[in-house]
Structure 1
Amino acid sequence: MNCLSKVLEKDLLFVIKPYEINKNNLIELIENHPEIKFISLMGIDLSGNDTDVKIPIKNFINNCDEFLSGGIQTDGSSVVLPGIATLNDGKVDIVADLNSNWYVDYNFEHIDINIDKPVGTLRIPSFLYHNGRPVDARSILNKAINSFSTTLLQLIKNNSSLLDDTNVTPELIDEIVLTSATELEFWVKTPNDDADAEALSASQVLQEQYWKRTKGSVRTAMEQALLLMDRYELSPEMGHKEVGGVKAKLDESGNLTHIMEQLEIDWKYSTALQAADNDLLVRTIIKEVFRKNGLEVTFQAKPIEGVAGSGKHTHIGVAAKLKNGSVVNLFSPGNMNSSFMNKIGYGALMGLLHNYEIVNPFVSSTIDSLNRLKPGFEAPVCIVASLGHNVNVPSRNRTVLIGLIRDMGNPLATRFEVRSPNPMTNSYLALAAFYQSMLDGIKAIASTSYSINQLHDNIIKPKGEDKFYLNKDREYISEKNIYEEYTDKERESLFGVHPSTVYENLMSFNKYHEKTKVLLENDVMTESIINSFVSATFTRWITELLNRYIPETIDLVRSCKQIHNVSEATDMDICHWNRINSLRHYLVKDTMNEKSLISRIKEAAINKNMKELSNLQIQLNDKVKELKEEYNAYKKNLIDIE
């Protein structure tokens, strides 16, 4: 039994609920749990980074009123808010959120020997304020939730026909509740082991690992993570192997080594802001628990080229809490066999599809995230949704961007599954953008007298047919396998062209200016917030290119060496090597007359020529792929290697 297993048996405080958050109760809880030595106010900046400042618990107790009402000040140097918190105007106030769960983060490697318990830090979800205005990702989501709930309730009161076929009337509704849930995928491996892409790819195609029994340290870590999640009252639902992975090996002592597996962990839905907080907490739990078991976890979207990446499928639902205490799903029709959704559901889905170009930058804002979104790996590559093959028999299409999830026996379960987010997607900003877009669609249909059948016909329209709200030259619904039943050209013609680079994605804010205004509705986002996000994302993109992808490319080029025996080489070997060497030089070797591709990328980055940099990155991706394929073919044709 390792240290973590012992800790799980102890009487530790893990969660403080909103109704418990008051001065007297907090002080009593802290005094009863001397293992809590610190507090930390957790704000989320526009890049998804969470602040973590260790404040001794005595300081919190002595200044409890200040922490609960005013928060603390920082100079803004530790948060990503470019153009907002500047060098000459950097004061940022961190204000505790009194309406979300607080939780205790334990350091399992720091045991208080006096009480034999790990040292804990009370993590307090917070908001970041600059010059009196909220500027952080949590605040943006909080405003989006309030905007959606208030506006939808008013729309329903003004137009009761929105509730057609729901068995609900406006006067019965007490409040609108937004819910969300996450399916988190990630890769785990033993440290310092390199991936065998071919073996992983073969295993994926054969589905040798999918839902198979976990073993050894992976099983232990998975079980401990689920148990710890339960202590945090996250209600874990399942953990299992995903499609990727290869069989581990046994060492002389009987331990498994060379572990390389993809896993998934799911937990219960919650209200939207709490769900985003839970997502962050679960990633921390997984990282720490697997590390304690000697395993390395990556939440990269595409850690291994040619193998399935990791997603964070995000489920979103809308419900009405009635005055009698019951809850009604606002996407479900009164009769589940009569239609796929009700009017609000159709409006929400149309809004999300119609505005997705300006949602996507918040979902996929890194090179890694866009590398995942390629055909053939169950990752969405275009803006299209699935309703199901038949209204009476729900189905799930894993090739689309958005799937309608239905359970004929449980109307409360109706929701959208958005499949594009990855483990590192900033859930706060992504959810905020989802809700703003959905609300835009609901507002649009509220201004019409369309029936549910008319709305259904509207959303399933063929390309070229002029319908309400949606683009005439696009289609939005397909029940086909998007990867196999359409050519690339057909997909792009029907469902739009997916951005290839961070630059192309961010340019959607300029290209679709009217849609961008949807994000600004009810002051949920502001132009300064969007500009700050764009600036931060561009900076990260350039940094990733220069400091990660270019060095990796140079290492790849240097590793592609001549390995054939000249005297035994065939014409095919020579041909392969000549192409390889030509690519190597094109990528990294400057001459007096011509700069290499990498030198041109560096030059474009220094000059902040973003469009040129984007085009060069696309070329880099193509050339690196070509080099890998050519070198692989070259090696396979050799018998004797020097």
Structure 2
Amino acid sequence: MTEYKVNPDLLSIIPPEQHSVSDITSILEQHPEIKFVSLMGVDLSGNDTDEKIPIADFHDNLENYLNGDAVQTDGSSVVLPGIATLNDGKVDLVPDPDVVWYVDYNYEHIDTKTGLPVGTLRIPSFLLHNGEPVCSRSVLKKSAEYFESKLTDMFENNSDLCGQFGFTPDDLDHITLIMATELEFWVNSPDEKISQEQLSISQVLKEQYWKRTKGVVRTALEQVILVLDQYGFNPEMGHKEVGGVKAAVTSSGDFHSIMEQLEVDWKYSDALQGADYELTARILIKEIFRMHGLEVSFDAKPIPGVAGSGEHTHVNAVAFLKNGKKINLFAPSDMKADYLSNIGWGSLMGIMKHYDLINPFVSATTDAFMRLQPGFEAPTHAVASIGKDVLTPSRNRSVLLGLVRSENNKYATRFELRSPNPHTNTYLCLSAIYQCMLDGINYAVSSGKSTKELEAEFIKPWGTPGDYLPKDRLFRCEDDIFENMTEDERDKMFGEPPATVYDSIKRFISSEHGTEILSAGGVFNDKLLSSYSHAMLDKWQYELLERIIPSNLTTLRGYTKRHTIANAVDDDMWSDIESLKMSLAKNTEENTSVFTSIKNAIDSKSLKDISTLQVRMNRDMNDLAHLYREYCENQI
């Protein structure tokens, strides 16, 4: 275990205004502990590239590196199916000069001359194939630029629209999309096991949520906050989340049997920088906790039956005026009279109407879908809460999206999307959100409707036609949709949610105007959307085959008979357990098991059958876990 201490004297970042050849040369000469450079591209699966380029070579060929002429990879190292192919696989990495570059330190490798840890300058970059940008970062850059240019055009050509916000077209300088995330994760002692029952009981009793951190977890969390501040994140807080158990104390005063869920938040930044921060934060958090002997999981649902980890994503848009004033474009002119401006209503309507276009970029793995289940404060259906009235802010944690607002602070007005998880590709998720927002804004502005008329359409009862929103959907609900509605009622009112990766991708592909909306402004295109869909479907099938089914089989083998004396109750329960185990995993002359049926469907590329069988497998595994727990509780 490495002894780690925060060193405030280390160079953490190189800001955009210092990315000239002369500035970079000077900075690196002053910091000989920085021995390597790495160009960080992000493929369509959200994976970031990393390589170790000796600093001497970077110095000698600096202009070539900055121009994108020095580093290439191939299609086998990045997820770009159908784009970077076996016979056309060259992918160039081109540095992004407009975002923060940061230094990644190796505290287990000390530079003998300076006594400091060896650093790698990580430079966020774009992936280009045959001269065309094909990566997640480039999609978000195009999406943000397109959104900002379209809104700028709207304001410059519509003085009435400007008047709603109290400025003239000549006053406008630029528009920026703003975002932030709330990053949740689990930490644990890697060699110790905590039972699901203990975790469930602690969660129900609320023994962890916002409680005091202790020992090594406290130290690591405090160091994370300090380091994020050094890296320019402007952290807001770190705290315990709902999951976890109390750690045990040894005779020496150390803690063991650690299993806790934490959250770290930081302040807003523009879209591309914010997505880079999220990726960087995960790296820093993992490394700091690892150096304290703790394992970090960013999985959406690392432990069945216990709260998963989300990454609530906040979005809004801000107009910057030439006099330096900032205007939140979601906020209405009178916070006590309206929930949102017409730009805000259009954005909200676009997100909610087209969530089927956003969801494939939010929930792209089986792990993500396992988190989105009733009972764990995770959203299951596409419905929003805006508050019971304009003076009562939304506090509904059962919905997909919440309107965050304060009547005394216009700048706080924003949307909180609660479905993303720590492994959501934030770059593509935001890109899809912005494209759908823009579609709704186009409607809101071109319709000429007032804020009250837009509000009336958004909160219309189920079955009422709308000019933009479909009639057979309810888009706003202030009730607890889990306590006050059955599953069938939720499906009817809000639409039945997808259950698997295939369900989600299928809706996205078959959407009538999906490609048109996402591809507006050249943000996405058919090749990128096809590549992403193939990548996610391939990953889904491979994880089923090589991870999920083997893991489920191991679980089944652990469900063993425990009673030895004949007892009708025990015998009946064990018979039900055995029947489910056989159905799931045992092939006979009369029956092909669910596991084998899934494997056969994968071999025959029957995606619909795979999806149907996965839903059945998940249901049966849940039923089996419940049955076996009841059976064990009957043993003495």
Q: TM-score range by the shorter chain?
A: over 0.9
**Does residue 1:593 correspond to 2:590, yes or no?**
yes
Could you tell me which of 29, 32, 42 is aligned with 2:30? 32
Cα pair 2:394 2:402 within 8 Å, conserved: no
Could you tell me which of 63, 67, 70 is aligned with 1:69? 67
Q: Report how far residue 421 of structure 1 moved.
A: 0.3
Cα pair 2:3 2:292 within 8 Å, conserved: no
**Does residue 1:3 correspond to 2:3, yes or no?**
yes
Q: Report how far residue 128 of structure 1 moved.
A: 0.5
Q: Report how far residue 603 of structure 1 moved.
A: 0.7
Residue of structure 1 equivalent to 2:202:
203
The amino acid of 2:130's aligned partner reads N
Residue of structure 1 equivalent to 2:511:
512
1:298-309 alignment to 2 at 5 Å?
298-309=297-308
Q: Report how far residue 4 of structure 1 moved.
A: 2.1
For residues 532 and 159 of structure 1, the distance between their equivalents in structure 2, rounded to whole angstroms, comes to: 39
Find the residue that maps to 1:3 and give its secondary structure.
coil
Residue of structure 1 equivalent to 2:400:
401
For residues 365 and 100 of structure 1, the distance between their equivalents in structure 2, rounded to whole angstroms, comes to: 27
Residue of structure 1 equivalent to 2:107:
108
Which whole-Å deviations, capped at 9, do the CAs of 1:446-503 have from their partners, x for residues lacking one? Answer: 2111111101101001111111200111110111112111111111111111111110
Residue of structure 2 equivalent to 1:458:
457
Residue of structure 1 equivalent to 2:211:
212
Residue of structure 2 equivalent to 1:12:
10
1:213-612 alignment to 2 at 5 Å?
213-565=212-564, 568-612=565-609
Which whole-Å deviations, capped at 9, do the CAs of 1:316-362 have from their partners, x for residues lacking one? Answer: 01000101122111011122112011100000000000110111000
Residue of structure 1 equivalent to 2:634:
637
Could you tell me which of 598, 605, 613 is aligned with 2:610? 613
- The answer to which of 280-289 and 164-173 deviates more is 164-173
Could you tell me which of 26, 50, 53 is aligned with 2:51? 53
Find the residue that maps to 1:238 and give its secondary structure.
strand
Cα pair 1:405 1:413 within 8 Å, conserved: yes
Find the residue that maps to 1:4 and give its secondary structure.
coil
For residues 114 and 130 of structure 1, the distance between their equivalents in structure 2, rounded to whole angstroms, comes to: 41
For residues 9 and 557 of structure 1, the distance between their equivalents in structure 2, rounded to whole angstroms, comes to: 48
Find the residue that maps to 1:393 and give its secondary structure.
coil
Identical-residue share of aligned pairs (%): 51
Cα pair 1:128 1:135 within 8 Å, conserved: yes
Cα pair 1:163 1:343 within 8 Å, conserved: no
Q: Report how far residue 10 of structure 1 moved.
A: 5.1
Which whole-Å deviations, capped at 9, do the CAs of 1:103-154 have from their partners, x for residues lacking one? Answer: 0000111111221100000000000111111100000000000110001111
The amino acid of 1:31's aligned partner reads E
Which whole-Å deviations, capped at 9, do the CAs of 1:192-233 have from their partners, x for residues lacking one? Answer: 222321221121122111100000110011011111111111
Cα pair 2:594 2:617 within 8 Å, conserved: yes
For residues 261 and 566 of structure 2, the distance between their equivalents in structure 1, rounded to whole angstroms, comes to: 40
For residues 439 and 396 of structure 1, the distance between their equivalents in structure 2, rounded to whole angstroms, comes to: 26
The amino acid of 2:510's aligned partner reads K
Cα pair 1:159 1:446 within 8 Å, conserved: no
Q: Report how far residue 413 of structure 1 moved.
A: 1.5
1:181-192 alignment to 2 at 5 Å?
181-192=180-191
For residues 75 and 315 of structure 2, the distance between their equivalents in structure 1, rounded to whole angstroms, comes to: 32
Query: TM-score if structure 2 supplies the norm length?
Result: 0.98
For residues 442 and 255 of structure 1, the distance between their equivalents in structure 2, rounded to whole angstroms, comes to: 56
The amino acid of 1:277's aligned partner reads D
Q: Report how far residue 431 of structure 1 moved.
A: 0.3
Find the residue that maps to 2:513 and give its secondary structure.
helix
Find the residue that maps to 1:124 and give its secondary structure.
strand
For residues 2 and 286 of structure 2, the distance between their equivalents in structure 1, rounded to whole angstroms, comes to: 16
Q: Report how far residue 509 of structure 1 moved.
A: 1.9
Cα pair 2:12 2:102 within 8 Å, conserved: yes
Cα pair 2:208 2:242 within 8 Å, conserved: yes
Give the superposed CA RMSD. Answer: 1.3
- The answer to which of 472-481 and 42-51 deviates more is 472-481
Q: Report how far residue 68 of structure 1 moved.
A: 1.2
The amino acid of 1:477's aligned partner reads R
Find the residue that maps to 1:412 and give its secondary structure.
strand
Which whole-Å deviations, capped at 9, do the CAs of 1:562-592 have from their partners, x for residues lacking one? Answer: 1111xx2310100011111111111111113
The amino acid of 2:178's aligned partner reads T
Q: Report how far residue 164 of structure 1 moved.
A: 5.2
Change (3 A) 1:2 1:52: closer
Q: Report how far residue 513 of structure 1 moved.
A: 2.8
For residues 228 and 179 of structure 1, the distance between their equivalents in structure 2, rounded to whole angstroms, comes to: 23
Find the residue that maps to 1:283 and give its secondary structure.
helix
For residues 278 and 590 of structure 2, the distance between their equivalents in structure 1, rounded to whole angstroms, comes to: 52
